[in-house]
Amino acid sequence: MEITLPHLFKPRSYQREVFNALESGIKRAVLVWHRRAGKDSTVMNLTISKMFQRVGSYYYFFPTFAQGRKILWDGTNKEGMRFIDHFPKELIAGEINNTEMKIRTINGSLFQIVGTDNYNSVVGTNPIGCVFSEYALQDPDAWDLFRPILMENGGWAIFIYTPRGQNHGKRLYEMAKDDPNWFAQLLTIDDTVRDDGSPIITRAAIEDERKQGMSDDLIEQEFFCSFDVVGGQAFDFQKKYHVVPSDIPIPEFAPLFFCFDWGYGHPFSAQWWYVDHEDRLFHFHEWYGWNGEPNVGLRLTDEEIARGIIEIEKTLGITNKDITRLAGPDCFNKKPDYKGGGQGPSTADIFDTYNIKLLPGDPSRDLKIRQFRSRLFIPENKETKPMLQVYENCKNFIRTIPLIPVDKNKIEYIDVTSENHCFDSACHLMMARPVGISQTDVDKVIKERERQATYEKLPTLARIAWEEERAQNEQIEEDRKLELEAVEEYFTEILEGD
């Protein structure tokens, strides 16, 4: 029985170009195609063909392992055909490994889906073909790791994605389109047609999407491959200026901060920071509570998170350090007691039982966005570092901040439906250490928040007594000011009389 490759796939004219490029000897390709142009269908079939031209390992990278399973391993095309069925059954050796998403072929080649959130799982191997799907959303360090391997063994790499702002995806495309050793192709809906000449996506379909609420920015990004928006990019975060090596030691006497944004169905964000002598903020460790799917949480209880924080701080060697801990207002709200009825303890109450004492952060939306942008500001003198630095091990901060769009209705706000948990967590520190404020004022803010945190824990009668005492102290201070003014006025009259 004769089997031809590609199997059950006929590339359209624009899809054949990358096949032709690699057949001509090109080893690197960048495909910036609009959504629904058939990126993965095309490149997966190209990969299968290559597996029978040269025996070896072929890796298909996605931003996360879970994403690879959802999109390619379990995914289907519009006709309902599974993508992995492009592997002819007669050419598969043994059983398919569904757990690790591996397929071996009868000639000895290996196909495997890998998440760049855990690319270390294939470190030490020798792939000869690599596909980076949704590369604009990936950790670019994965490519840096496999680049020298492919250079040494003569392997190839293909990067496929729709733009996600002016990040590493744009930089790669800009480099590739001017390099004769690369094949670079950017295709909008105006560039892709079926073999009969009909468009893949019509202008009328785009207008329908707009009427149904899709923003102009998102349309430009998804269908016209604009690098200038991420549904309206909110922050200018650039790895070149804002990310530093993880092996920089923490200064011994630097103030330490812990920031926390609570999440259950959505991710929580636990962050550790220190402040240098120039008031520059360094984010040196993170714990991001997600399951590998963007914006999907681990669903850990407050007790589990508290225990995790303690273990992390033991590992970091900061257990006995003085750490100021800031958290969002939702951490101080009493939660329903589903077992006993009424109200149960808040997140702050539960953390307190583990000696993790949270203080309320400032939730002011306008100010925290301004402070965050001020911290990210890149000075004209590029030798001067921005006032916010992130250790390279804080991968989810680095991943999510560039992807936060502005609110389509008010450009000065961010889209609160985006994956903005790292931003919200960090802003507690931005507001506690606002740019341009003195340390004395900062101490006043922290002292006031400590007072407020203590007040929230008091029973009703104690709060009344607290407020009465506070009112008396304020009255005493006001009387004192009036007496000083009266004395000053008295001596002024005497001096003028002389």
Q: Who contacts 281 (Cβ-Cβ below 8 Å, separation ≥6)?
A: 273, 274, 275, 375, 387, 388, 389, 429, 430, 433
Same domain, 274 and 357: yes
Q: Given this model, what pLDDT does residue 403 score?
A: 81
Q: Which residue from 384, 135, 138 is spatially nearest to 241, judged by alpha carbons?
A: 384
How far is it, in rounded angstroms, from Cα 193 to Cα 145?
A: 36
Q: Do 104 and 195 fall into the same domain? A: yes
Q: Nearest to residue 200, comparing CAs of 75, 7, 14?
A: 14
pTM of the predicted protein model: 0.55
Which CATH number do you get for residue 199? 3.40.50.300
**Does 116 lie in the same domain as 258?**
no
**Distance in angstroms (rounded) separating the CA atoms of residues 382 and 378:** 7
Cis peptide before 386 (omega within 30 of 0): no
Distances (CA, A) of 23 to 28, 46, 156: 12, 10, 11
pLDDT in tens, 2-31: 899 999 999 999 999 999 999 999 999 999
**What does the pLDDT read at residue 437?**
44
Domain closes at, from 224, 257, 286? 224
What pLDDT, on the 0 to 100 scale, is given for residue 254? 95
449 and 464 in a common domain:
no
Same domain, 193 and 277: no
Token pair listed for 191: 């560039």
471 shares a domain with 445: no
The answer to whether the CB of 83 falls within 8 A of the CB of 75 is yes
3-state secondary structure 102-130: EEEECCCCEEEEEEHHHHHHHCCCCEEEE
Domain-ending residue, one of 224, 256, 291: 224
Residue 55 placed within a domain:
yes
Q: Is residue 5 part of a domain?
A: no
The whole-number pLDDT of residue 383 equals 85
Same domain, 475 and 434: no
Q: Of the candidates 224, 247, 277, which is a domain's last residue?
A: 224
Is residue 187 included in any domain, yes or no? yes
Assigned domain for 229 exists? no
Q: Does one domain contain both 391 and 413?
A: yes
Q: Does residue 281 form part of some domain?
A: yes
Q: Is residue 6 part of a domain?
A: no
291 shares a domain with 182? no
Residue numbers of the chain with a pLDDT score lower than 50: 437-439, 441-443, 445-446, 449
> What's the total number of domains in the chain?
3
Residues 198 and 336 in one domain: no
Specify whether 346 is located in the same domain as 474: no
By residue range, what is the domain housing residue 125? 13-224
Backbone phi, psi, residue 10, to 5° = -115, 110
Question: Do 375 and 400 share a domain, yes or no?
Answer: yes
Return d(Cα 376, Cα 390) in angstroms, integer: 11
* Strand-strand pairing, 127-133 and 269-275: unpaired
User: Can you give the pLDDT at residue 236?
Assistant: 81
Output the pLDDT for position 438: 44
The reply to whether 498 falls in a domain is no
User: Which of 71, 70, 240, 244 lies closest to 170 in space, CA to CA?
Assistant: 240
What per-residue confidence (pLDDT) applies to 186? 98
